[in-house]
Copies of this chain bind each other. A is one copy, B any other.
Amino acid sequence: MSRTRQHQQSEAVRERILQAARRVIAEEGVAALSIRRITKEIDYSAGIVYHYFDSKEHLLQCALAECYGRILEAVGPPDSGLAPDAAIRAAFTRYIQSALQWPEEYKAFMLSASPDVLSFTSVLGEGDPARRPALASLVAMLASGIEAGLFAPCDPALTAQALWSATFGLTIRLLTERDISPEQRERLIGRQIELMMGGLAQ
């Protein structure tokens, strides 16, 4: 059990590194993150990072994966009490709102070209966007909407990919163009959702 105790303390240090990294990212952006900046915050030497992570890339990947988990958590599961079309509208709205609350984290994670992050974020591949839970539930909502006669028949997987890419694009631009008024933001979100739902209708 002593091995356990040491292991626990070791895990705690790892967690403190990740905490500090997330703090810096949230407050100063991912560009301001550096190994020495992290280790200074928690009073450790710079080399310690490489005892817990393979590289800065790896550390960043771990920190952002946690952040992205929180974003998805904030989105929550689709509202099963709603009709498919209303449920999809609500899901997209919540998705964008959540991303807007973690702007730096969302951008860094979703735009990362690192293979490990891409294994989480890739969604355009042939056939199965089922690997990503958020997309899977969108596919399900589309399928039940088609069955209910609300939507025109189509390939739900392909359609989910196209819809999500559109939402992703608006999200990234809302995060990148910094000075968009809340009113304009709402109008844009509303219009894009309206367009997409119009495209789904038969």
| B158 and A165 contact, CB distance less than 8 A | no
Q: Are B126 and A177 in contact (CB under 8 A)?
A: no
Contacts of A126 in B (CB 8 A): 181, 184
Among A125, A162, A197, chain B packs the most CB atoms within 10 A around the CB of: A162
Known contacts A172-B172, A192-B166: A177-B125 contact under CB 8 Å: yes
Kindly state the separation between the CA atoms of A188 and B125 in the bound complex, as whole angstroms: 10
Q: Does A37 contact B (CB under 8 A)?
A: no
State which size class the interface on A falls in.
Answer: 35 or more
The listed residue (B124, B184, B197) touching A125 by CB distance below 8 A is B184
Q: Which one of B113, B176, B195 lies within 8 Å of A196 (CB-CB)? A: B195
Is A170 interfacial (CB 8 A cutoff)?
A: yes
- On chain B, the residues within 8 Å of A125 by CB distance are 177, 179-180, 184
Q: CA of A176 to CA of B113 in the docked complex: distance in angstroms? A: 6
* Chain B nearest Cβ from A28, distance in angstroms: 13
Measured CB to CB, the closest approach of chain B to A109, in angstroms, equals 11
Judge whether A111 and B195 touch: CB under 8 Å.
Answer: no
Cβ of A173 under 8 Å from chain B:
yes
Distance A158 CA – B31 CA, assembled complex (angstroms) = 32
Does A174 sit within 8 A of B, measured CB to CB?
Answer: yes
The distance from the CB of A143 to the nearest CB of chain B, in whole angstroms, is 16
A166 and B169 CA atoms in complex are apart in Å by: 5
Closest 6 pairs between A and B when the two form their complex, measured CB to CB = A169-B169, A195-B199, A166-B166, A198-B199, A162-B192, A165-B170
